[in-house]
Chains A and B, each alone.
Chain A
Amino acid sequence: MIDFLAAAIRIATPLIFAALGGILSERAGVFAVGLEGMMLMGAFSAVIGAWASSSAAVGLLLAVLGGGAIGLIVAIVTVRYRADNMVTGLTANILALGLTTYLLHILAGTAAIQVDPLGPWPIPGLSRIPVAGPLLFSHPPLTYLAVLGCAGLSVLLFRTQTGLLLRATGENPEAVFVAGADPQRLRMIAVISCGAIAGLGGAVLSLQQVGTFTDGMTGGRGYLALASLIVGRWHPWGAAAACLVFGAAEALEFRLQGFGIPVSSYVVQMMPYLIAIAVLAGLGRSTKLPAFIGKPL
């Protein structure tokens, strides 16, 4: 059981990062369709950075910059040039897929890039508590960072002037302008930050979990993160909870496969996505989108 829950947390961690970034972007009024591409770029940059420098810290820095770069592109195209959010986001995802595949071949050729995955950092004392210790306090570093990120983003959004202005930008940018702030700038910053944070999510996948990068390794997790932030009603803790549910669904799928149930493994793998669709359809219109989301300034 502990194994199962720990697996759920492990699978949810990259989703939580991406969802946090997505919340920033959507609260500021830009649909976070590009999360998949931002994650993928982050995953790629992290492994390349760590491989080239033999330092995980450099890998993480590059993940932030790589994800942020996709964010910058989305920000310029949607905010500055007022392009459609959906189309831009999808294009960014395709761009990231092509770019990472291409760069991987140039940089590594046929050699497999392998770096040491980030190991667990058991928290002294706490990690020795029975049950809770191995479950909650024996994770690799980025998992703790995800939790800190939820707390930090909650405080930023709901307790500071910056967060207030950011949320208002997604609801009524004219009010922000009249209040003396610059909604366009706020949106740019939010989308770029979204890319940087989602890039860290990608780094969790590649650098923390497997130590290598494979083409298209995010495999739709960006979209799953998008679904969780909607299910979580654009609230960091809510989105994290949704990510954990999706993580649990995927963890369950590995278990079921282990039991040798006579169902195609592809059907079982669809589980988290089917759950996402079912939940979104169930929420339907009751979800409250930021009023000005997707509209150019």
Chain B
Amino acid sequence: MAALLEMRGIVRCYGKLRANDGIDLDVHAGEIVGLLGENGSGKSTLMKVLFGMVPPDGGGIVFRGKELAGHRPGDAMAAGIAMIHQHFMLVEAMTVVENVMLGWKESGWWLGRHAMAARIRETSERFGLALDPFARVADLPLGRRQRIEILKAVLREAELLILDEPTSNLAPSEVTELLAILRRLRQDGKGIVFITHKLPEVMAVCDTVTVLRAGKVSGRAPVAGASRAGLAGMMVGRDVTAPQILGEIAPGPIRLDIQGLSGPGLGPIDLTLRGGEILGIAGVDGNGQLELAETLAGLRRATAGRISLDGQEITRATVNARMQAGLAYMPADRSSTALVRSMTIADNLMLRDSRRAPYRRHGLLAGRAGLTKAKALMQRFDIRAPSPATPASRLSGGNQQKIVIARELDRNPAVLIAHQPTWGLDPGATHFVLERMIALRDAGACVIYISSELEEVLSISDRVAVIAGGTIAGIMARAAIDMPQLGLWMSGRAA
């Protein structure tokens, strides 16, 4: 059978960078193709070329037997290609019906909303979308909003659906439902391109996988028979099993001592950390992780208990005093708490240290010294950007997180609180973050590593604690991990 979509030898350059360097991609009707790759590997560029958002510098596209060249998004849509963006293109103040009708010729100038609502109900039922046509988008969870986009595509008779990282904003149960919807679409004979860097989802739903690396196809395989490690290897071109802690190191002196720490939704919590130790805190999200991290960092007030760092009491200390004492903090919310997205890399790097050398001189900010320092840090922490003057918002998630790491670790902290530091990162960047945590531990600091990814916590922690209902349900050493017990702790008092 002829392919629904054939892309041949696609080349697209941005300046000197060859974002797509001779890529082939085939999609058949009734097939789900996983498009895998790290951030910046060329996935998005390839889809932009396909959808007519940027013209290719070379290569050709044939869709449903017809050549597609010099097209614009409108032409792509008319030909039967639908793109479901990561950020939904919906009007939140309007209902589902209104969003479906928006700009659609077939709904006519006089809007027949009840006739359209009937069509929506019918299609929604057929694909298991469970959408109420008269619900306001603003009242719907993200998973439902995504289904409106899918619904729009299906109603407009799209034959090929491109989903750009469709699961990144979804709760786990919503992901399961989305995968079921995709299977129904496949049954209906639609072709689907599923862009992601999450391997388990690819394994669960895709028929074949095409892996991109640095603008080229680095591998192509049917999912049946492929292994996760093999696919991950294709993505980054090296072994990406999580870095392991190499051997025990003699525990140092007590560095962080938390006794009876309480606050709204938190505690009481007792924890003692020694130098050269990573304490992983596992648990279902929303069980006090944020409260704990922010209380330790000084962003929330503790109502009872005490925190001491290297013997110095910091329970009531200001954020700045805690930093002086040797505390570093990587918040989970990278884009609004950890960074100022509109500011440059250099400004973000000096954000927390602007009152110290080399950033401050004679009471003023030393701009040039800051830039020099920023360049050095960018090199040391492998922050890939044109210059220190690039706004943080232009970087990928991985590079943004590297800015945070560079800023926090450059201070040589005694204690690091890292909250979901690998959230949303691709395997390569995740590897980098974990490596840095281990290096810090080996240098004699201690790390509190809070994450809801249990596998990750297990791989890099000397001890694993479980937080549930705002308190520590239990702690066990790495050598004596008892999975059923961990599970019990996590579910026992889960919020």
A and B found bound together? yes
- The chain A residues found within 8 Å of chain B, CB to CB, are 159-162, 164-165, 167-168, 171-172, 174-176, 178-181, 288, 290-291
Contact B98 A178 (CB under 8 A): no
CB of A158 to closest CB in B, whole Å: 8
Q: Which residue of B lies closest to A173 (CB)?
A: B91
30 of the cross-chain contacts (CB-CB < 8 Å) are: A159-B110, A160-B111, A161-B103, A164-B94, A164-B103, A164-B111, A165-B102, A165-B103, A167-B91, A167-B94, A168-B91, A168-B94, A168-B102, A171-B93, A171-B94, A172-B90, A174-B89, A175-B90, A175-B91, A175-B99, A175-B102, A176-B102, A176-B103, A178-B73, A180-B103, A181-B103, A288-B93, A290-B93, A291-B92, A291-B93
Contact B91 A161 (CB under 8 A): no
Q: Which A residues touch B102, using CB under 8 A?
A: 164-165, 168, 175-176, 179
CB of A173 to closest CB in B, whole Å: 10
What separation, in Å, do the CA atoms of A174 and B90 have in the docked complex? 9
Q: Which B residues touch A174, using CB under 8 A?
A: 89
Q: Which B residues touch A171, using CB under 8 A?
A: 91-94
Known A-B contacts: A160-B111, A181-B103. Give 12 more (CB < 8 A). Answer: A161-B103, A164-B102, A167-B91, A171-B94, A172-B89, A172-B90, A172-B91, A175-B90, A175-B91, A176-B103, A179-B104, A180-B103
Q: Which residue of A lies closest to B77 (CB)?
A: A180
Contact B91 A180 (CB under 8 A): no
B74: Cβ under 8 A from any A Cβ: yes
CB of B222 to closest CB in A, whole Å: 34
Contact with A along B401-414 (1 / 0, CB 8 A): 00000000000000
B109: Cβ under 8 A from any A Cβ: yes
Q: Which B residues touch A162, using CB under 8 A?
A: 109
Q: Which A residues touch B94, using CB under 8 A?
A: 164, 167-168, 171
Contact B111 A159 (CB under 8 A): yes
What separation, in Å, do the CA atoms of A165 and B98 have in the docked complex? 10
- The chain B residues found within 8 Å of chain A, CB to CB, are 73-74, 77, 89-94, 98-99, 101-104, 107-111
Q: Which residue of B lies closest to A172 (CB)?
A: B91
Contact A180 B74 (CB under 8 A): yes
What separation, in Å, do the CA atoms of A295 and B203 have in the docked complex? 43
What separation, in Å, do the CA atoms of A172 and B138 have in the docked complex? 12
Contact B111 A161 (CB under 8 A): yes
What separation, in Å, do the CA atoms of A11 and B90 have in the docked complex? 41
Contact A172 B92 (CB under 8 A): yes
What separation, in Å, do the CA atoms of A179 and B99 have in the docked complex? 10
What separation, in Å, do the CA atoms of A164 and B105 have in the docked complex? 12
Q: Which B residues touch A160, using CB under 8 A?
A: 109-111
CB of A233 to closest CB in B, whole Å: 12
Q: Which B residues touch A291, using CB under 8 A?
A: 92-93
CB of A124 to closest CB in B, whole Å: 32
Interface-central residue, A162, A164, A167, A176, by most chain B CB under 10 Å: A164
Q: Which A residues touch B104, using CB under 8 A?
A: 179
Q: Which residue of B lies closest to A290 (CB)?
A: B93
Q: Which B residues touch A288, using CB under 8 A?
A: 93
What separation, in Å, do the CA atoms of A175 and B91 have in the docked complex? 7
Residue in contact with A161 in the complex, picked from B73, B77, B107, CB distance below 8 Å:
B107
CB of B473 to closest CB in A, whole Å: 41
Q: Which B residues touch A159, using CB under 8 A?
A: 110-111
Contact A161 B109 (CB under 8 A): yes
Q: Which residue of B lies closest to A163 (CB)?
A: B111
Contact B93 A164 (CB under 8 A): no
Nearest 4 Cβ contacts at the A-B interface: A179-B103, A175-B89, A178-B89, A171-B91
What separation, in Å, do the CA atoms of A5 and B337 have in the docked complex? 57
Q: Which A residues touch B73, using CB under 8 A?
A: 178
Q: Which residue of B lies closest to A155 (CB)?
A: B110
Q: Which A residues touch B93, using CB under 8 A?
A: 167, 171, 288, 290-291
What separation, in Å, do the CA atoms of A51 and B117 have in the docked complex? 54
What separation, in Å, do the CA atoms of A179 and B73 have in the docked complex? 10
Q: Which B residues touch A167, using CB under 8 A?
A: 91, 93-94
CB of B238 to closest CB in A, whole Å: 38
Interface-central residue, B91, B93, B98, B102, by most chain A CB under 10 Å: B91
CB of B105 to closest CB in A, whole Å: 8
